Amino acid sequence: MDLLSPIKDHHSERRLFIARVVLAAVVSTLLLGTVVARLVQLQVFEYEVFAAQSQGNRVRIEAMPPIRGLVFDRKGRVQAENLPAYQLELFPEQVSDIDDTLQRLANLDLIVAEDIPTYNELIDNGPRFKPVTLNFRLSEEQIANFAIQRPRFPGVDFQPRLVRHYPHGAAVAHAVGYVGGLSKSDLGRLDGSDYAGTSHTGKTGVESSFENDLHGDVGVQHVISNALGRQIPTDSREMADSLPTDESPAPGHNVYLSLDLDLQLIATRAMEGRRGAVVALDPWTGEVLALVSAPTFDPNLFALGMSTKQFSGLQNDLTQPLFNRAIRGAYPPGSTIKPMLALAALETGATNLTRKTVCRGYFMLPNTTHRYRDWKPEGHGEVDLHDALQQSCDVYFYEISIDIGIDRMHYYLDQFGLGHKSGVDISGEHAGLVPSKEWKRSAFRERTDQRWYNGETVIASIGQGYMLATPLQLAVAAGALATRGIRYEPHLVAAVEDPLTGERSLVSPNRLEDVRIDSEEHWNAIIGGMHDVMQSVRGTAWAVGGNAPYQMAGKSGTAQVYSVAQEDEYDEDEIEERLRDHALFISFAPLDNPRIAVAVVIENGSSGSRVAAPIARAIMDEYLGHGDDAP
């Protein structure tokens, strides 16, 4: 049977074809419409948004660090400045063998070999096209040496920049402070946007406390970059005109200190080879005229970047040159508190101006055998309050301390600024300690240790036992004695200046609560006793102040470092130097119109009147215009 072929249905095929063409046309139209709609959206309705994003991808914003403000002393002499210097930089992407390059640079003494691991870490953590600073300040010899060797070091070059410089170095280190490289902790407390492009910040002293004033405001510049982030030179006017307007950085404010450089230098020279501190201030304003801690250090080392070995040497130095003894050193104040204690005794009725005591060289509490010894083994004989101050009789103060009591002692010493922070405008201040019964109850856990004993009151009366004070606190107390109870908060900064306008904002003295002493006669008696300490033949510091061309007042102090047994005698020559007594002295001058108050503490100096008092006299001589008459 023959198979018949099916008849082809041309009509159905045409309909199917037309349907497919229509479907394809509809789909194509829809897709084309979508594309056109999207193009209209992007190029018409959202043009400004994407144009800005495009410009942002092409133009990179770079921070322009501000110039740091200058620091001056009270007479306008520069204490911190910015000097041009050349730094050595390495561009990682241009160096084929970084380890070899660093080692060869170390061989030429251009970098320190010990710091190579640090440089490698900086290189690994940053973009390859960004330079890494290897040396913040090249010497002229290093620049000349590298210039000869430059062809051997592709990717290494030196660039000009400003670095912080302290022209008087160690003399102002603890007052002005220093700047150092930004650390992770610095970035955590500072606003990162304000420090973009900045490599250093204030670490201590005024450099740290007034960082916001000194730093300035960061600026921005716009540069054209490629997809990899590298800058493309704007070699045509059209390209340059297409960039947004740059914002210039605003320089930091200049800071004027109350410090007198002449006093700083005298105190620094006097403290050379010693450990301790000197603080001088204006008792009527609280302006700090001198603040020296010894031993000291060169702050320029931190500004330029020191080697690991150098930093370890400073940190591990047994004399602790980085420790600011002027505001952080806590010492037993010794007999320097006797003028304040004498006022407390007069005000509370524990003594009067005519009461006399026979000093036999020791004092004993009732029903005890322990002898509290006077500094003068044979005793002072019959003494009244004036004699006790003039000759620093310990026994007299031992006796009246029991009648005053430790809590009233605490009350009056607190008014003079002892036992709490003074509020000075640099950080790190120690609060010191003036004990009381309440303090002891909170300071000790065992009930037997919380009880206050009369023997502790006795030794507190000569500034020993638990009592501690900083040299700054002693200077503040001396200032309060000079003004007869009028007190001002100490401060180092006298004014802040806008470098663009020259406008200065002066720091006003901050008056504190006065010392509450009711009787003017009591002030006269105590200040008269302090005057005779220095300018009466029987005074403990007569050898220092007796020939002065002006009237002054002072009080020496000796603070015991370790206890001597009852049966033993203190022999300075047989005692290790670090176990000898601390030497202290407070003073002010002129007597009738005080302009300066001084406190000096010499660690293990043995004698306040013999060792510390001459330094105070030299500072007062210089400030009062009698520098050539110093002893």
Q: 409 and 341 in contact (C-beta within 8 Å)?
A: yes
Could you say which of 335, 422, 436, 556 is catalytic? 335
Counting the structural domains of the chain, the total is 2
Q: Are residues 346 and 247 in the same domain?
A: no
**Given this model, what pLDDT does residue 12 score?**
78
Residue 435 placed within a domain: yes
Token pair 């215009």 is at which residue?
Answer: 625
Do 522 and 428 lie in one domain? The reply is yes
Same domain, residue pair 416 and 559: yes
- Per-residue model confidence (pLDDT) at position 626: 84
- Tokens coding 526: 């105590």
Name the 3-class secondary structure at 219: strand
Q: Average pLDDT across each block of 10 residues of the chain; the chain has 631 residues. List them in order.
A: 58 79 85 84 71 54 82 96 86 84 86 80 70 78 85 84 92 95 76 75 94 88 56 51 67 96 96 96 97 96 81 90 96 96 96 94 92 91 95 95 96 96 95 96 91 95 95 98 97 96 94 94 96 94 93 92 55 65 94 96 90 96 78 43
Q: Side chain identity at 338, as an amino acid letter?
A: K
Q: Report the distance separating Cα 460 and Cα 338, nearest Å.
A: 10
Task: Yes or no: say if 253 and 499 are a contact pair by the CB < 8 Å rule.
Answer: yes
Residue 173's CATH number: 3.90.1310.10
Interstrand relation of 372-373 and 504-506 (parallel, antiparallel or unpaired): unpaired
On whether both 277 and 190 belong to a single domain, the answer is no
Do 236 and 115 share a domain, yes or no?
Answer: yes
Q: Note whether 175 and 293 are same-domain residues.
A: no
Amino acid letter, 137: R
Residues 356 and 413 in one domain: yes
On whether both 225 and 201 belong to a single domain, the answer is yes
Q: Is residue 32 part of a domain?
A: no
Q: Is residue 592 part of a domain?
A: yes
Q: Cβ(588)–Cβ(478) under 8 Å?
A: yes
Helix (H) or strand (E) holding 309: helix 308-316
209 within a domain of the structure (yes/no): yes
Which structural domain range is residue 444 located in? Answer: 262-302+324-571+581-629
Contacts of 351 (CB under 8 A, 6+ apart): 342, 345, 385, 400, 403
How much helix, strand and coil, in percent to the nearest 5, is found in the chain?
Answer: 40, 20, 40
Asked whether the beta carbons of 222 and 243 are under 8 A apart, the reply is: yes
Secondary structure class of 147 (helix, strand, coil): helix
Nearest to 355 by CA among 402, 388, 394, 401: 388
- 479 and 508, same structural domain? yes
pLDDT of res. 253: 96
Nearest-angstrom CA–CA distance, 327 and 471? 7
How far is the CA of 91 from the CAs of 44, 113, 129, 305, in angstroms?
44, 19, 6, 20
Residue 335 among the catalytic residues: yes
Q: Are 84 and 200 in the same domain? A: yes
What pLDDT does 621 receive? 96
Phi/psi at 553 (5° precision): -135, 150
Q: Say what the pLDDT of residue 32 is.
A: 87
Residue 134 belongs to some domain of the structure: yes
If asked whether residues 125 and 223 sit together in one domain, one would say yes
Q: Residue 585: its pLDDT value, please?
A: 96
For the chain, the first-to-last Cα distance in angstroms comes to 149
pLDDT of res. 236:
47
**Integer angstrom CA distances of residue 609 from 309, 548, 602:** 40, 15, 11
Look up residue 194 and give its DSSP letter: G
Mind spelling out the 3-state secondary structure of 369-421?
A: CCCEECCCCCCCEEECHHHHHHHCCHHHHHHHHHHHCHHHHHHHHHHCCCCCC
pLDDT at 584: 96
In the prediction, which pLDDT does 388 show?
95
Tell me if 517 sits within 8 A of 481, measured CB to CB: no
156, 275: one domain: no
The DSSP string of 82-129 is: EEEEEEEEE-GGG-S-HHHHHHHHHHTTSS-GGGHHHHHHHHHHS-TT
SS3 assignment, position 323 = coil
Whole-number Å distance between alpha carbons of 433 and 452: 16
**Residue 27: other Cβ atoms inside 10 A:** 10
In a domain, 562, yes or no: yes
- Asked whether residue 81 is assigned to any structural domain, the reply reads yes
- Domain contains 353: yes
Give the whole-angstrom CA distance, residue 559 versus residue 570.
13
Q: What is the CATH number of the domain that holds 543?
A: 3.40.710.10
